[in-house]
Structures are given as structure tokens and as C-alpha cells.
Amino acid sequence: MNEEILVNVTPMEARVAVVENGVAQDIYIERQSSRGIVGNIYAGRVVRVMPGMQAAFVDFGFERSGFIHLSDVLGAGAATEERIADHLQEGQLVTVQVVKDPISKKGARLTSQLSVSTRYLVYMPQSDHVGVSQRIDDSDERARLQEILAAALDCESMEGGGGFILRTAAEGVGDSEIRADLRFLKRLWTVVSRRAAEAQGPELLYEDLPLQLRAVRDLARPDVQRILVDSHENYTVLNEFCLKYMPEVADLVELYEGERPIFDLHSVEEDLQRALARRVPLKSGGHLVIDQTEAMTTIDVNTGSFVGRRNQEETLFKTNLEAATVLARQLRLRNLGGIVIVDFIDMQDAEHRRQVHRALEKAMARDLARNKITGVSELGLIEMTRKRTRESLERTLCEDCPSCEGRGVLKSAETVCYEILREIMRDARAYETGGLIVLAAYTVVERLQEEESAHVGDLESFIGRSISFRAEPDYTQEQFDIVLL
């Protein structure tokens, strides 16, 4: 498997794509205006204890207090007779970590069971468990890694103890890499512990890495051939990060200096746009219909125009086989999690059903998110679960449509603004013009002239041309045109 990681960073957002054999499989997006706080560690103050719910609210420096349950205070396996009031009191200073970002009117979900990660290790100061990622299924490799870690801990013991998990990326690595990660964790935790001891009130103690650094830390597996970065500044940052913490992948980091935008390589930008569509065409002529709801995601497989060469059973079998591979990729691209129900086209042949099931398992095996696939239900459906690791692509890039009262979605004004700025950059490189006029909906023009005005000014300076805007009342929020002068 030939993999590449494409990194596109602008002052507004960071985007990372994982490309396997020329086809985008994963896309990650993190915006500076709404960067998540999951993984961050804070000093917080208990503001309210609720014995009836066995929970408490903690002020950790945000507008809405965070929520922490007794199970998040004591950890897994805690005795059921324990009470929240025995562990937390109003006014008490506590050290907490965010496990779920604030959503809508709900505050963040917090835990006292802290953890910090490096490329190969997860350190858990409140635990004494030492384990290996479930994705490493070779028993000899698991034993080898545990022996390496045990030997490393004899030389680099952590003050106060703690537990560890060897991550999937540790498979095949040697003693020196594990020891380097352990030394880094030791230094990091010393700093976090000192800040926690000195804290007088709510404050940030530890912040997780930005997307582009997390992606290199977590995704630079042995199959990765190169990591392409499209700016000098971020190339330098990534290179220095790798040299310091991941020297074995430092040679993979390359500066992309091509004329085409980096996400135009391997049609990643097109895949990103298509991943927002409800209907996904299949090469055979069939198609998938993907519906994301609050409770679950449903995927319906249809034959469409594909009629097969011999008989109907062959048509259904071939369509379902192709659909199994395509829907696995779509789940990764769209980052759809939770319960997923797949309605494959009914097949009479039991062997065909088994082969489709095996094809789906094989396609999902490379997914980094933990997933579980059941057999075919009595209704002919395949049920599966996929762990939610972050907001879905649709939730990140889109907002509820005011015209249909939430029954559909459209790209947000922020998303359209960034598309316009990228399109201006593309046009400026391709054509010699005296200036540009952007025609767009009022909401988009208003945002470009206000919230995004600094970015527009930077872009004008960069391309050396003026950019003006005109609101078009008949344009929808997603529509825009750029007129070259």
C-alpha cells in the first residue's frame, strides 16, 4: 500500500488528507475559529455537586461549566456504592481533561482520569495498567513490545507511577523509539504536574497539538511514502517537530511547490465536495444513498442502470461487492460514527452473501477508527458500529438550512468564504488581471468584508491585486462568481 499525507494549512484552517494508491481515504479539518479542546488538561474549580445525578459541574475557564460524572472521577471498575460528594466538594480545585467538546447548549464532558500521548505511547498517571493496542493482534509482537516497555521503565521510571498503552503505531518499532517517547512523556508530565500544583484557579495546563502535528504523529505509518506540506512556514515547523520527536519520519516531510493547489492532487478537493452529497455513484452504474441522522447512519445500495451480463443474481452480487468497498471509504471520508445500517440489495445465493460480508470486513480493516460488523439480520441488513473520533465532515463544513428548517444542509458562509479565497488564489496564479470582483450572496459578502477582512487584505497583498465584492440578492449562500478585470 502506497500512502501519502497532504497537509494544507492557512491562517483560517488546517486540512490533512491521507491518500492511498492515489485515492483519498481520510480527510481531517480543523478551523482556528472553532478548534476543539478535547485532550486539553485544565485546572478547574467545582461549582456545583449534584448527588442525585452522581455528577458535578466544574468551572475550567469557559463560558459554560464542564460536566463530570462519578465514573469519570474514579475510572472504570469503581465500586457502585461510592458517592460523588465523597470525592468532590464545591469550591475544590481539581485537575480535569476534556473528553468531549461543548456541543450546542451543553458544556464539555470532563474526566479526572488523565492521559497524554506521544507517537507510540499513552501515559495514564491515575492507572497502573500496562497494555497494547487491540489493533496489534500478533501475540508475539504484543509480548515483544511489553518487554521493551518494561525494560525502558526500569531505566526511565515515571515519578508517581502510572499506566501505559502501546499504540498501534508502535508495531515493529525498536527499543530506542519507545525509550525516546518515554523520556518525552516524563518531561511533559513533570511540567503539567508543576503547573497543576501552582494553579490558583481555572487555567489551561496542557494543550494538545494542532491538527497538522497530530496527523504526522498519529498517521505516519510504515506505508507512508511522503508527507507533502504546501507552505514554507509549516514545512519548517513539521520538519523541526519530526527531527525532535520522530526522526525516523523526518526524511518523509517534503515542501510542495507545485502550481496547482495541493488538494487538487489526486482530486482530493473533488472528493471533499462529493463527500457532502447524499448520493454516491458506483462505477457499475448503481449508487449509494447515505443519510446521516442523530440516531444512526443508513446506507442504501441500489443497482441503478446496471443490469449485468448474465442474470439478475450476478447484477446484484457485483453491485453489492463494489458497494462494500465504496461505502467503507465513504465512512472514513465523511467520518461517520455510531450505528451504521447497510441495506445491501437482497441476494438469494448464500455464498454471495458471505462474500459481500467478507468484502466489507476487508474494506473496513484498514480503518483506524474501531469498528464492529455483525452478520446479516433477519431483515437482510448488515449492522455495524464505528467509533466517533471527531465531528463528521457534514457537521464540520455545513449548517442547517434556514429555508427548510433543518431538514437539509448547505455550506456555511465561512466555508464559502474560504472556497472563494482559494479560488482567487487559483485564478491569480493562472491569469494576469488588474483586479477581481467577487459576486456572492449577501451573507458571504458581509462575512468577507467583516470577519474575514484581515485574510482578504493579506491575500490582496500576496497577489498584488485589488479584490472587491458585490452582493447578489438572487444568489444562494453556496453560489459565487469571480470576475477578472
Quick one: 365 and 288 in the same domain? yes
- The pLDDT tens digits along the chain (485 residues) read 688 999 999 989 999 999 998 999 999 999 887 777 888 999 999 999 999 899 999 999 988 999 999 989 988 665 567 899 989 999 999 999 999 888 767 888 999 999 998 878 999 998 888 899 887 888 999 999 999 999 998 887 777 788 999 988 788 888 888 888 888 888 888 889 999 999 999 999 998 889 999 888 888 877 889 999 999 999 999 999 888 777 878 899 999 998 899 999 889 999 999 999 999 999 888 899 999 888 899 999 988 765 555 677 788 888 999 999 999 999 999 999 889 999 998 888 888 889 999 999 999 988 878 889 987 777 778 999 998 767 788 888 888 877 666 767 788 999 999 999 999 999 998 898 889 999 999 999 999 999 999 999 999 999 999 999 999 998 989 899 999 98
Instruction: Residue 13: give the domain boundaries.
Output: 1-32+210-272
The residue out of 88, 113, 138 marking a domain boundary is: 113
423 CB-contact burial (10 Å; exposed 0-12 / middle 13-18 / buried 19+): middle
Report how far apart, in Å, the C-alpha atoms of 170 and of each of 32, 121, 143, 146 are.
30, 8, 12, 11
Residue 402 domain-assigned? no
**Per-residue pLDDT at 461:** 93
- Based on the fold, state whether residues 13 and 58 are members of the same structural domain: no
Question: Any idea what the CATH number is for the domain that residue 191 is in?
Answer: 3.30.230.10
Establish if 245 belongs to a structural domain: yes
CATH code of the domain containing 226: 3.30.420.60
463 assigned to some structural domain = yes
CB-CB contact of 448 with 467 (8 Å): no
SS3 432: coil
The whole-model pTM stands at 0.74
423 and 478 share one domain = yes
Please tell me whether residues 186 and 219 are part of one structural domain. Answer: no
Do 162 and 151 fall into the same domain? yes
Residues 104 and 120 occupy one common structural domain: no
For residue 396, tell me if it sits in a domain: no
Q: How far is CA 443 from CA 104, 230, 399, 416, 471, in A?
A: 22, 30, 13, 10, 8
CB contact set of 112 (below 8 Å; sequence gap of 6+): 68, 72, 73, 94, 95, 96, 97, 126
Q: Is residue 399 part of a domain?
A: no
Q: Say if residues 357 and 321 touch (Cβ distance below 8 Å).
A: no
Asked whether residue 217 falls in the same domain as residue 256, the answer is: yes
Tell me: do 100 and 131 sit in the same domain: no
Which set of grid coordinates corresponds to residue 25?
481515504
Among 236, 252, 272, the domain-final residue is 272
Instruction: Specify whether 226 is located in the same domain as 155.
Output: no
Number of domains in the chain: 5
Does residue 401 lie in a domain region?
Answer: no
Could you tell me if residue 362 is inside a domain? yes
Match 444512526 to its residue by C-alpha cell.
296
CB 54 within 8 A of CB 84: yes
How many CB atoms lie under 10 A from the CB of residue 117?
Answer: 19
In the three-class reduction of DSSP (H, G, I as helix; E, B as strand; rest coil), residue 10 is classed as coil
Residue ending a domain, among 200, 226, 255, is 200
State the residue for C-alpha cell 502506497: 2
What CATH number corresponds to the domain at position 377?
3.40.630
- Single-letter amino acid code for the residue at 29: I
Residue 465 sits in a domain whose CATH number is 3.40.1260.20
- pLDDT at position 80, please? 66
